[in-house]
Structure formats: structure tokens, C-alpha cells
């Protein structure tokens, strides 16, 4: 054999063929498609290797900056993707992948995604979406009803009204939060007298006209980083996304919030929005939304709730009370690709008032004209795929009762795992789960006893050592690929707000079992006893012994 790679021929006929003729049944791509369709989880288990490979090594497979002159065969590209991409991807559907907000998908999402891709509808305009537009409006109505619970007659009036919208579909929580604060900004500085509105004249002129020195958005210190991006894009500045202190349970402190609002008021800084969180990214806690709604009303600020993670908790009759007050929000973010179990790239922002989105409306004669029923005029993104089809399918196939089961079992599993951690001699629970996220760290029982008695300097030495061991365990476990937890850094009140490295676990995958979680803890415990970390462990034991022996001597 010559060893030369075969190439396809670029011709009009060949280009026509790749748009019209599917691959042969025995081709690499067809076999790949069949394997995935038969058993999605099994295929991923067979093909996705979670073992760590250096990024530099992987980059070698993607070095060539030139577009190939000659086409290659589809089967060759499919094999390349299997060998170089799929094999080095993350098996996010694995029941032992519990470190991030990505889960297994219902089996029906794959074939339905094929329909969505094949139709290739563009939701920016009814001319390119047809029936997808009323379907998208219905999806927004269904989630709006989940949050706000208006009467059926109300939805008959507003859901398909061409001059109003119940929300906006978008690619995820970042754009949803930005859209909510975009509305808040434009509502805060509307046209008046000779001023044509912030959307026309800009923020500088708006502040000058209304007599303000600046504008701010307030959120707890656990707020998502997307809000910082929004503050940047909207022109108020990152420094004016103001973090507010949280209590020991990682919820915003209402007194601290009110004090900051009063301080800003004295400084002539307009409070555009107060943001409550329903399911913080790091710990899964929910702010006191009802109290926040009252404070927002007091300061005439837009009340937005970032429920990207926790919003679907409203499906649960047992746990929906945890989100009490969300129905008072002016806007709410929900990510469908989290706990509505759709593929990545599906989020939304909902507005209590269907007229809210009018302040961000944009039109163009060639595509999004006034009075059209499409939602392109009120979305930040222009061209959008028909992800609403997959959300709609999930809502109908799983149903309220199905989502309730998924939510309830996730919260129950988190509570059970928290109990496992409390009972294990090697670990310390850092944050109790309110929903289905929790944090913990390596900290043997003897170490915990020493920390209760240690002075500040000794506690810092012990905590610094625990940070290094916890970090080592997390990285080693990730590299071995059997299971995965993420890590973050918190400042827990019980440790005098010292920055502690912790494991973070998200329990949304219904395939994750108690046995998997138990095995994961035992794997971590075993890693902590390995020779590679023995020096750090001896240093920790020495620091602990010093505290405990000193306490014993003082008691004698």
C-alpha cells in the first residue's frame, strides 16, 4: 500500500450528494448513529474515556490552521471524531459524574434532536419557523404558569398576543440574566420629556437626566458570574454589581441588603435590580425571596430571581415552599438544560408582566416587523434553534408528576449523602443540602476535634493542610476517571471564614445510586492514605497532635 490518504472529489455533484444522500448502512457514520440510537449510555461508556490526558497532548490533534484543499470522506471524519474527540470528551451522563450541573438525558432527546436539526428552523422569525413560533410561546406559557400560576383565561389573552411576550428563549442562564437586567435598565430610565430613553440616548445621558451618579445591581456574594458579565455589557460597570453578605447558610442577609440600598440611595446611585437566587451554583441554597421582593418594592427596583438551577423545584409539592416568593419576581431565569433534562443550550427568562419586554424591542423591515408573533424582536440573540421543541417534549413526556419524582429523589439523595458524610470518620460536611447540592471536605474526626479547640494560628495551619489534601484527592480522583466531584472554595462561618477548599457534589442524575456515592467516598478515603500524600498527612497529624496535647496539658 502507498500509505497515501484517499480524498473525495470536490464537485457540484458531490456537494449535492452530501445534502441529499445519507451514508450507506454499513458506513462508519451510520454504524455510529445506530450504536448511539440503540444504547446511548452504553455507547458513551464504551467510547468516552474519562482518564486525564494533558491538554498539550490533545492540542497536537488540532494543530493545523488550514482548511483542507481537498474534501475528505464522511466516514474518515467520523472516525477522526471517534478517535480524537469522543474518546477525550467527558462522560457527563455517567451516574458517578456528580461534580457539575450536567446529567444523563432522557433517551427520547436524541431522536427528537435529529428532527429538530433536520428541520433547521430559525426562531428569529415566523417565516423561518412557522409552527415552532406558537410552540415556543406555549413553552414560555407553561413555565410562566409554573412560576406565576395565573388563571387559564390570562394565558388565553396573553400567550399568543403579537404585541406581548411572556418571556424570551435563549441559549442559557447567562443570556437570560442579561436579558432580565437589560429590561430592568430600560425600565429604570424610560423616555420622559425631551429625553428619548436610555435605549436611544445611552446610559450617560440617562443618569444625567434622572439626576443619578450611577446605577447598581445587588446580589448575594454567591451570585453567578454571569451577572458580572451583564453589568459590564449594560454599561453600569462590574464594580456596580454589588455583592451582599450572606448568612451561615449561604443565603443573602436581608438587613445587609437594605443597608447597602440605603447607602447607594444616599450616594445618588440608582438601584436597578435586586437579584435573588433560587439554587446557588456552589451550594444550592435559596435566598429569602419573599423578603427580597419587599425590599425591591421599597426601593422601586426590578426584582429578578436567578432560578437557573432551582426553578424546577416548583414541580415538587413537597419542596416548592422553598421557593416561596418567586411568584413576586418581575423576572425569573430557568435553564432547561439543567433540571428539565434537555441538551445544552436551552434557557429562558420569564416576565410577570407581558408588556415588560416591549422596552427592549428591536425591529427590522426585512425580518422582525412590528406586530409579528415571532419573538425575535425581544431576544438578545438573533438566529436561534428550535430548542423549545425539546423542552416541550420533556414537559409532555415526563409531565409534572415525573419532574416531581426527579426533584424529590435528588433532594432525598443529597440528604442521604450528607448523612453518609457525617457518619464517615474521614470527612466533614461543610454545607447542608437545601436542594440537591452539597459540599464537604477531607477532615478526619480527630482533626475536627482539634479545630474546635485550636487558636487562630493553629487553625490556619490545619486548614491550609486540609486544603492541600482535599485538592490532591479531587485531582487524583478525576484523573483516574472512576468518578468525579468538583471542588470550590468557601469561607464557612464554622471555620471563622477561613478559605476552605471543598468537594462539591450535584445530585440530579437519577441513575446515581447510594452505592455509587458510598464507593466514591471510600475511593476518596483511600486516596488520602496513599504514599504520595503521606508527607502532607504527617504534617497535618503533627499540627493536630500539637493542639490536642496542648489542650490536655492545660487541663491537668
pLDDT of 458 strictly over 90? yes
Which residues have C-beta within 8 Å of that of residue 423, sequence separation ≥ 6? Answer: none
Give per-residue burial for 503-538: e unless 16+ CB within 10 Å, then b. Answer: bbbbbbbbebeeebbeebbebbbebbeeeebeeebe
pLDDT of 132 strictly over 80? yes
pTM of the model: 0.90
49 band by pLDDT with thresholds 50, 70 and 90: very low
How confident is the model over 375-427, as pLDDT tens digits? Answer: 777 788 888 899 999 999 999 999 999 999 999 999 999 999 999 999 999 99
146 band by pLDDT with thresholds 50, 70 and 90: very high
DSSP helix/strand/coil, 8: coil
242 membership: H or E segment, kind and range: strand 241-244
435 vs 121, residue with greater confidence: 435
Can you give the pLDDT at residue 364?
Answer: 46
CB atoms closer than 10 angstroms to residue 497: 10
> What backbone phi and psi angles, to 5 degrees, belong to 385?
-75, 170
Mean pLDDT of 357-370: 64
Can you give the pLDDT at residue 472?
Answer: 97
User: What are the sequence ranges of the domains in the chain?
Assistant: 3-89, 121-384, 408-555
How confident is the model over 526-550, as pLDDT tens digits? Answer: 999 999 999 999 999 999 999 998 7
The CA-atom distances, in angstroms, between 213 and each of 183, 204, 209, 299 are: 20, 9, 11, 16
Mean pLDDT of 419-448: 97
**144-148, 367-371, 496-500: range with lowest mean pLDDT:** 367-371
How confident is the model over 11-22, as pLDDT tens digits? Answer: 666 645 644 566
CB atoms closer than 10 angstroms to residue 24: 11
Q: CATH top-level class for 121-384?
A: alpha beta
347 vs 32, residue with greater confidence: 347
Mean pLDDT of 145-149: 98
Count the residues in the chain: 556
CATH number for region 408-555: 3.90.1150.10
Amino acid at each position: 500500500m502507498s500509505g497515501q490518504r484517499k480524498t473525495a472529489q470536490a464537485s457540484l455533484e458531490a456537494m449535492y450528494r452530501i445534502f441529499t444522500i445519507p451514508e450507506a448502512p454499513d458506513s462508519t457514520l451510520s454504524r455510529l448513529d445506530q450504536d448511539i440510537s440503540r444504547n446511548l449510555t452504553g455507547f458513551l461508556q464504551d467510547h468516552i474515556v474519562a482518564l486525564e490526558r494533558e491538554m498539550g497532548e490533545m492540542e497536537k490533534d488540532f494543530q493545523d490552521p488550514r482548511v483542507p484543499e481537498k474534501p475528505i470522506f464522511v466516514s474518515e471524519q467520523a472516525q477522526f471524531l471517534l478517535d480524537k474527540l469522543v474518546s477525550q470528551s467527558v462522560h457527563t451522563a455517567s451516574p458517578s459524574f456528580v461534580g457539575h450541573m450536567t446529567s444523563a438525558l432522557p433517551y427520547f432527546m436524541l431522536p427528537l434532536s435529529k428532527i429538530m436539526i433536520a428541520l433547521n428552523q430559525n426562531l428569529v422569525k415566523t417565516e423561518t419557523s412557522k409552527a415552532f413560533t406558537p410552540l415556543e410561546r406555549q413553552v414560555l406559557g407553561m413555565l410562566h404558569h409554573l412560576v406565576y400560576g395565573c388563571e387559564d383565561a390570562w394565558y388565553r389573552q396573553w400567550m399568543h398576543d403579537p404585541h406581548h411576550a411572556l418571556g424570551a428563549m435563549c441559549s442559557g442562564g447567562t443570556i437570560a440574566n442579561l436579558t432580565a437586567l437589560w429590561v430592568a435598565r430600560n425600565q429604570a430610565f424610560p423616555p420622559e420629556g425631551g429625553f428619548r430613553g436610555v435605549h436611544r440616548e445611552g446610559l450617560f445621558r440617562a443618569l444625567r437626566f434622572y439626576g443619578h451618579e450611577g446605577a447598581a445591581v445587588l446580589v448575594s456574594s454567591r451570585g453567578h458570574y454571569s451577572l458580572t458579565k451583564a453589568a459590564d455589557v449594560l454599561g453600569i460597570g462590574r464594580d456596580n454589581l454589588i455583592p451582599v453578605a450572606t448568612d451561615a447558610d449561604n443565603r443573602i442577609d436581608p438587613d445587609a441588603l437594605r443597608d447597602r440600598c440605603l447607602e447607594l440611595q444616599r450616594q445618588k446611585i440608582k438601584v436597578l435590580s435586586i437579584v435573588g437566587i433560587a439554587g446557588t451554583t456552589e451550594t444550592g441554597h435559596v435566598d429569602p425571596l419573599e423578603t427580597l421582593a419587599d425590599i425591591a418594592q421599597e426601593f422601586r427596583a426590578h426584582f429578578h430571581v436567578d432560578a437557573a438551577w432551582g426553578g424546577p423545584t416548583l414541580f415538587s409539592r413537597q419542596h416548592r415552599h422553598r421557593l416561596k416568593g418567586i411568584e413576586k419576581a418581575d423576572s425569573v431565569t430557568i435553564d432547561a438544560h439543567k433540571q428539565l433534562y434537555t441538551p445544552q443550550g436551552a434557557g429562558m427568562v420569564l416576565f410577570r408582566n407581558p408588556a415588560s419586554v416591549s422596552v427592549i424591542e428591536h425591529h427590522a423591515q426585512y425580518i422582525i416587523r412590528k406586530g409579528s408573533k415571532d419573538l425575535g424582536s425581544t431576544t438578545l440573540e438573533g438566529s436561534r434553534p428550535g430548542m423549545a421543541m425539546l423542552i416541550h417534549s420533556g414537559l409532555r413526556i415526563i409531565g409534572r408528576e415525573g419532574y416531581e419524582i426527579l426533584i424529590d429523589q435528588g433532594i432525598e439523595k443529597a440528604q442521604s449523602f450528607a448523612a453518609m458524610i457525617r457518619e464517615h470518620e474521614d470527612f466533614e460536611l461543610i454545607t447542608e443540602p437545601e436542594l440537591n447540592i452539597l459540599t464537604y471536605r477531607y477532615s478526619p474526626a480527630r482533626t475536627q476535634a482539634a479545630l474546635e479547640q485550636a487558636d487562630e494560628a493553629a487553625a490556619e495551619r490545619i486548614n491550609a493542610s486540609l486544603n492541600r489534601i482535599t485538592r490532591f484527592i479531587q485531582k487524583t480522583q478525576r484523573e483516574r476517571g472512576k468518578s468525579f466531584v468538583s471542588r470550590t472554595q468557601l469561607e464557612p462561618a464554622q471555620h471563622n471564614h477561613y478559605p476552605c477548599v471543598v468537594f462539591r457534589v450535584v445530585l440530579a442524575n437519577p441513575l446515581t445510586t447510594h452505592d455509587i456515592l458510598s464507593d466514591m467516598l471510600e475511593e476518596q478515603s483511600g486516596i488520602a492514605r496513599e504514599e504520595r500524600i503521606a508527607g502532607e498527612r504527617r504534617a497535618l497529624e503533627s499540627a493536630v497532635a500539637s493542639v490536642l496535647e496542648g489542650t490536655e496539658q492545660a487541663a491537668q
